[in-house]
Amino acid sequence: MNHFTFYMPTKLLFGEGQLSHLHEQELPGKKALIVTSNGQSTKK
């Protein structure tokens, strides 16, 4: 087996209304993944 170190710092803003707080965050990169849902797909 190969030895390796995997480091991936992640910050999650979770919950209703959190998208409006995105501008307050200091982002380390130039790209972001934003996932939104009406809640139906999560329940299925």
Write out pLDDT tens, residues 13-43. Answer: 888 888 898 889 887 778 877 777 777 766 6
Domain spans of the chain?
A: 1-44
As given in the structure block, the two tokens for residue 39 are 């809640």
Cα–Cα distance, 4 to 6 (Å, whole number): 7
Instruction: From 25, 26, 28, select the one nearest 8 (Cα to Cα).
Output: 28
- Whole-model pTM over 0.85: no
The identity of residue 40, as a single letter, is Q
Would you state the pLDDT for residue 5?
93
